[in-house]
Amino acid sequence: MSTETGRQAEDAAAQFLQKQGLKIIERNWRTRWCEIDIIAQRKSDIYFVEVKYRQNPAFGGGLDYITPRKVAQMRYAAEFWLSGQRQTQGQCRMSAIELTGKPPVITAWLPDID
C-alpha cells in the first residue's frame, strides 16, 4: 500500500468519525515505541482508532487483523498517550475501522472492541 493510499484511507476514516459526532484530537500519533492512527473524542469518551485498509479483501478483511496481540498494543499506546494528558474522565475505547476499495470505503466500524 502506498503512503497516498494509506492517507486516503485515514482521511475517509476521520471524515466518517466526524459524521458520527466524534471530534478528531490527533492523527498518526507516534512515539518510538507505539502509534495510534486516530484519537477522537465524543463527550468525555476517548476513542483510540485503528484504521485497517485492504485494497482487496480476498485474503481477509482489515478487522481480521485485529488480534488479541494488536488490542494489547493498542492499549499500551493508549495508556502512553493518556499519561501525557492532564485529565481524562470518560471511558477509553479501543476502536477499529475497516476500509476497502479505491477510493477507500468504510466497510465496518467497531466503536468498542472490548
Q: In whole angstroms, give the CA distance from residue 33 to residue 35.
A: 7
Name the residue ranges covered by the structural domains of the chain: 3-110
Residue 79: the pLDDT is 92
Q: Give the per-residue SS3 of 3-31.
A: HHHHHHHHHHHHHHHHHCCCEEEEEEEEC
pTM of the entire predicted model = 0.91
Q: Cα-atom radius of gyration of the chain, to the nearest Å?
A: 14
CATH class, domain 3-110, is: alpha beta
Q: In whole angstroms, give the CA distance from residue 75 to residue 93.
A: 9
Residue 65: the pLDDT is 85
Q: Which residues contact 80 (CB under 8 A, 6 or more apart)?
A: 31, 33, 34
Dump pLDDT digits (tens) for 1-33.
577 888 899 999 999 999 999 999 999 999 999
